[in-house]
């Protein structure tokens, strides 16, 4: 795993996520890069596209870089005071940058340019949707991401993973994602609990066929011994997610984010959004087409 990217808006939630990322980076023996997306005053630009002078942007960029520098120094001081328990003497390097644009666009560009493998964000944001789901910026990033995003709830502090739950629909493409989760688990010698939520009236024969094929592929393709499986029978997905969070004794949930059409998202919310509502622990979200290298 290479450097972890942490977008920040300097809010308490973002600061907490950056400190979480720093401790995680120590455990993974990699670096951290924090970034900030500078948004232009939209109304001014619409009225007069030439109104935003280069000097104004330069001033804002300087102020932002100064704030990022302070954040990086504070993170390095924190690491000097308290190393992650399994990091030994390894101290992650903290870099930083700012860029003009929307958060999702800036994050995507930095990940591609620097070939980064993981983004860590705070699970909150501006707007009414933050009270229901995970915050508008976080939602936008994972909806457009071709890379894994780790969402960190407010005030959650890092602790080495002992058990990671991987929620799956038992699709063939999830094997690659599970292999990626195993690479993270390996650093912490953590267990992985494969969880499959099914309705109580689903055809057990058809379900067992799918499960057996998936678990057979896990055995053949993933070289990690501490993987277990549990089927959760539930009246609906929400109840199943509640059970995992309350009774699974887990430290992080990993899942695959599959995009739905607008009407489905409007009326029911995506699987990832439902999951985010239920947990008070980090949520590692993979796109259906990507995995950590």
Q: Does domain 163-287 have CATH number 3.40.50.620?
A: yes
Q: What is the pLDDT of residue 268?
A: 47
Average pLDDT over residues 61-71: 91
Q: What is the pLDDT of residue 209?
A: 82
Lowest mean pLDDT among 157-161, 230-234, 260-264: 260-264
The DSSP 8-state label assigned to residue 40 in this structure reads P
Q: Is 6 helix (H, G, I), strand (E, B) or coil?
A: strand
Q: What is the pTM assigned to this prediction?
A: 0.81
In whole angstroms, what is the distance from residue 122 CA to residue 151 CA?
Answer: 6
Q: State the greatest distance between any 2 C-alpha atoms of the chain, in Å, as a whole number.
A: 68
Residue located via tokens 């009246």: 235
User: Residues 237, 266: contact at Cβ < 8 Å?
Assistant: no
Residue 118 scores a pLDDT above 70: yes
Average pLDDT over residues 227-256: 79
User: Residues 193, 163: contact at Cβ < 8 Å?
Assistant: yes
120-134 as b/e, with b when 16 or more CB fall inside 10 Å?
Answer: bbbbbbeeeebeebb
Domain made up of 4-152: CATH architecture:
3-Layer(aba) Sandwich (3.40)
Average pLDDT over residues 147-158: 89
User: Phi-psi category of 274—alpha, beta or left, where left has phi over 0 and alpha has psi -120 to 50?
Assistant: alpha
In whole angstroms, what is the distance from residue 198 CA to residue 195 CA?
Answer: 10
Task: Tell me what the pLDDT averaged over the chain comes to.
Answer: 78
Which residue intervals of the chain bear CATH 3.40.50.620?
4-152, 163-287
Which tokens sit at 1? 């795993």
């Amino acid at each position: 795993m290479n450097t972890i990217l942490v977008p920040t808006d300097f809010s308490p939630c973002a600061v907490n996520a950056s400190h979480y990322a720093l401790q995680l980076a120590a455990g993974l023996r990699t670096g951290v890069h924090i970034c900030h997306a500078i948004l232009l005053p939209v109304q001014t630009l619409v009225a007069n596209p030439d109104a935003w002078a280069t000097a104004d942007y330069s001033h804002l960029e300087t102020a932002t870089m100064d704030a990022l520098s302070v954040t990086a120094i504070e993170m390095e001081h924190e690491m000097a005071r308290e190393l992650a328990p399994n990091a030994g003497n390894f101290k992650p390097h903290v870099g930083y940058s700012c860029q003009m644009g929307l958060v999702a666009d800036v994050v995507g560009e930095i990940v591609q340019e620097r070939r980064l493998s993981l983004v860590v964000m705070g699970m909150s944001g501006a707007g009414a949707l933050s009270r229901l789901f995970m915050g508008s910026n976080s939602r936008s990033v994972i909806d457009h991401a071709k890379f894994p995003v780790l969402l960190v709830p407010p005030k959650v502090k890092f602790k080495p993973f002992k058990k990671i739950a991987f929620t799956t629909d038992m699709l063939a493409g999830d094997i690659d994602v599970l292999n990626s989760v195993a690479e993270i688990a390996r650093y912490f010698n953590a267990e992985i609990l494969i969880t499959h939520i099914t309705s109580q009236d689903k055809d057990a024969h058809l379900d067992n066929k799918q499960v057996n094929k998936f678990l057979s592929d896990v055995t053949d393709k993933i070289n990690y011994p501490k993987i277990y499986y549990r089927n959760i029978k539930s009246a609906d997905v929400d109840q199943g997610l509640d059970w995992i969070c309350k009774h699974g004794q887990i430290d992080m949930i990993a899942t695959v984010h599959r995009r739905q059409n607008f009407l489905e998202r409007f009326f029911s919310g995506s699987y990832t959004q439902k999951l985010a509502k239920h947990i008070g622990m980090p949520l590692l979200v993979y796109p259906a087409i990507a995995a950590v290298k």
